[in-house]
Amino acid sequence: MQLHGYSQRTIDAYVRAVRQLAEHYHKSPDQITEEELRQYFLYLEEMSMTQQKYPQMVKNRFADFLLLS
């Protein structure tokens, strides 16, 4: 990610997002299916509407990160 010019803070945020995804499903990120990822995004959206905890920007950046992997 450093080769793409991301700041350390952005890299840390991506790593944290992937770790949270893995913790949510209790498995390694490379074992998570596309359907589980879709469900997780819906979960984040639901959380965002009820708690304002996960802003849309984080969800979008997380999706971008997964596409780069």
pLDDT in tens, 24-57: 999 998 899 989 988 998 888 887 765 555 556 6
Block residue for tokens 């950046």? 61
Measured distance CA(34)–CA(49) in Å, rounded = 23
* Number of domains composing the chain: 1
> Counting beta carbons within 10 angstroms of the beta carbon of residue 17, is it exposed (0 to 12), middle (13 to 18) or buried (19 or more)?
buried
Q: Which domain holds residue 41?
A: 2-68
Q: What is the pLDDT of residue 52?
A: 56
Q: What is the pLDDT of residue 44?
A: 84
Q: What is the pLDDT of residue 39?
A: 92
